[in-house]
Every structure is written in structure tokens, then in C-alpha cells.
Amino acid sequence: MAGIGVRHVNRKGSYDLAVIGAGSAGFSTAITAAEQGAKVVLVGHGTIGGTCVNVGCVPSKTMIRAAEALHDARAAGRFPGLAGDAQLTDWRRLIAAKDDLVGMLRQKKYIDLLSEYDGITYLEGRARLNGAGVIVNDTPVAAGKIVIATGGRPAVPSIPGIEKVNYLTSTSLLDLKDLPRSMIVVGGGYIGAELAQMMRRMGGDVTVVCRSRLLPQVEPDVSAALSEAFRSEGIGLHCGITYDACREDERGVTVCVEDGRRRHELKAERLLVATGRTPNTEALELPYAGVAQDARGAIIIDDRMRTSKAGVYAAGDVTDRDQFVYMAAYGARLAALNALNGDSLAYDNSAMPWVVFTDPQVAGVGLTEAMARQRGFAVETSVISLDQVPRALAARDTRGLVKLVADADTGLLLGGQILAPEGADSIQTLVLALKHGMTAQALGETIFPYLTTVEALKLAAQGFRKDVAKLSCCAG
């Protein structure tokens, strides 16, 4: 914390709420509590701001946008009469610009905010629980309630030999001073997919290896279509494999995998590990405090954000709940309000949107087809490819599809996913449809603006009952 300008306020006495962790969830908790008139102590350790602003969402998305700018210029030839090209000329300058953005947002959205709330005291130090309260730097801090929001960090898979490899994580990759010529990405989830495509567009040779398929949490047809888009850009994919070993020498990294038919030895300059995240709980001494954890080490909470220890709540990536920064902030607000006002608010993720910032982007909300069937619904689906969407035709970019899932008995929409270049900015319409209990027919009868990506939702909704290929423009 030295040198970054955090205002430390010294107070004596007890606090209404102690918040452990000064990232997105921690700040959301502290600010919500202070707005309730509570006296709050916010305990941070290390760089203030947590994952999202420092090493997660902000730095990765600005680098992904830069890579998209390169790709878009090179793809201009899809329009007859156009030609384009773009080159990465200075990787270090690009990294420095990313660091400047991170520093500005950390200062403006975290450090400077502390002086805006008189009810918040900031303490820098290592915190642990002792069953009776919070200990910060071996000094007891008295508080009526506690919220744990210590976040997570990149997880490392159990691949034989990986402990001897100088591998990269999503954090260290974005701090490299030199761009690797080639890279193997271990992990096909949203972090691995985003960073693999970004590095490929920056000019490196990239191969993705994963135990399942690319984006295993999405609909299989969405995963397949994105895999095709990746391969068209020259990204190698080895999915459904098992890891045999990995090693490193002066020539680079070798990862040995088996796909059930044969063994592959994949070689590259660097190895990126992107296999999820693990919660930051080790230093908290939770077992001694009576706070239950799952097999991953994450804190188990109920729908009121309560842990197994009375008076102790948790929110964000340290818990067993949704690993998205906006859900961390949402859960943190609930934790603060419940801790101070009697546990009346329940966590609800039934209309939770999620986005993967690949290109095409992947976005979804609600139940997949498989999840809906598992829950006993009589399921019907509608799938349209982007070549049925006027916006995509005008843009000469029909990579993608839209899939909607509905209850066949009532027509009620249950979920859906979009794979489209502008899918992330379209998903909120479907979020609102689910939140307010719309049927597929009602969505299909809603007025949408023409030549927009979001119009694909209307067409997909109409696709339950008619062949949209037989509609004229704006018909229906």
C-alpha cells in the first residue's frame, strides 16, 4: 500500500462491521454498510482494488479490444473493394497503456473513494479469524459482524511436471515485457478462450488444450461454432484430452497430451495456465473459526450470504457462488444489508447474464437445454444462424447463432445464448424477458429496431412457430 495514497483513518472502539478484502466485493460491502450509517473497518492486504481492476476484467478487456482492432483491419477484405492490414509495432507501449488505465481506475474507483465515506476506516494488514472476531496484524479488531471478501487467484492444474515449468497465468501474461512467438494455453474456459484468441491476433502461434470442449459451460452448438471460428483464425484446438506431462528446457515448453487415440507432444515458447481460480482462504484460519469450506477451499454460504459461523458472511470469488465481478458486488451488498438488518434478502441468480469476450462474443442467461430437461421441463428450442440476421448480412460477418430454450407447455422462456460479434450488448434484452416472465411468443411480438444484432432474439423467438427464412425484412 505504500506510496499509493490511501487515506488511513484511525479510530478507537468497536465497529458495526468488519470487511476483510479490499477488492470489488469488499468495497461494495463497505460502501453499502456506510450508506446505512454503520461504522465499518475495511481490511486490505496488498494492492487495493482486487482482481477485476488490477489483473482481471480491466486489463484483459483493453488488450482484447486492441487485438480486435488488429483483426478488424485485416478482415476489411470481406467487403468487396476493400483491403486492410494492421501490425503490432510496440508491445511494451501497449502494455504500458494498459497499466496506465489500470492505475487510473484503481485510483479513481477505489483509493479516492475512501475519503468520500466518513464511516469507513481502512486498515492495511493480514487478517484472520479466531472464532471470536478478527485479528489484523496480530491485533484484535472488535466488530459486531464480519464479511469475508478476499477473492481468488489463478488455479494451477495437476499436470505432472508443471511445478518445474515457468508457466504464465492470466495475471503474469499481461505483464510480459516481450511478446511470445508461440504459446500453449491450458484450459478452454472463458479465461483461456479469451486470452488464446487475443494472443493469436497479436501475432503468436497459439494452441489450446482442454479436458472437455471449448467453453464446456455453453450450449454444445455454440461451443462447436466458436471452435470453428477459432480454427479459421489458425488457433489449434486439442479438446477432450488428458494431460500426460509437461516440461521446459532452453527451447521452450513441451506439453504431452492424449486424446484417446494417440499421444501428442505440443511445443511452444511459453505455457499459459488458465484453468479457473482458487479462493484466497488459507491465511484466514477458517477451520479454527468454524467457517465451513468446500473441496476447493471456497467458503460455503447460504442464500442470505451467511457462512456456517453465526455473524460471519462472505461474498465474491472467495465463496462457492458465481465467479463474476458484478455478482460479487451484488452478493456483497446483500451481505452488508443482511448483516446489519436481519437477513431478509436472498441471493437470486435466476436471471444472471454472463459474457465471454471472444470474437464472436458469447453471452447467455438462464437455463441451457440440458439444464431445463434435468429440471423436468418439457423443452422446446429455437436456433437460428446469423445468416438469417440482417445486421450480420450487412456486416458481412455471419459467424454465430442464437439459441432460445422455452417450456413447451407454457411457452415461457427459460434461457438462451448468443454467439455473435455484438452478442454481449444484446443479452440484457433476454435477461429482462426472463426476469419479467415473458413467453417466446411475447418476445417475438415485441418491436425491435431493424439492422441490429439484438433483433436476432426476436427472430429466434419467432422461430419457435415459423420459418424465419420465409419472412420479409422486418416482417412478423
The binding site comprises 61, 187-194, 276, 317
Instruction: Give the CA-trace dihedral at 418, 420, 422, 426, to 10 degrees.
Output: -20
Under DSSP, the state recorded for 8 is: P
H or E element at residue 62:
helix 57-74
Residue 234, burial from CB neighbour count under 10 angstroms (0-12, 13-18, 19+): exposed
Alpha helices (H) in 116-267, listed in sequence order: 170-173, 190-201, 220-232
Q: How many CB atoms lie within 10 A of CB 118?
A: 9
Q: For residues 174 and 354, what is the distance between their CA atoms, to the nearest angstrom? A: 23
**Residue whose entry in the numeric block shows the C-alpha cell 486489463:** 59
The answer to whether the beta carbons of residues 246 and 254 sit under 8 Å apart is yes
Q: For residues 214 and 331, what is the distance between their CA atoms, to the nearest angstrom? A: 29
Residue 400 has φ and ψ, to the nearest 5°, of 135, 180
Closest CA to 241 of 223, 220, 256, 226: 256
Binding-site annotation, residues for NAD(+)? 187-194, 276
| Buried b or exposed e, range 122-142, using 16+ CB within 10 angstroms | bbbeebbbeeebbbbeeeebe
Under DSSP, the state recorded for 471 is: P
Closest CA to 289 of 264, 310, 316, 258: 310
Q: For residues 410 and 439, what is the distance between their CA atoms, to the nearest angstrom? A: 8
Binding-site annotation, residues for FAD? 61, 317
The answer to whether the beta carbons of residues 351 and 423 sit under 8 Å apart is no
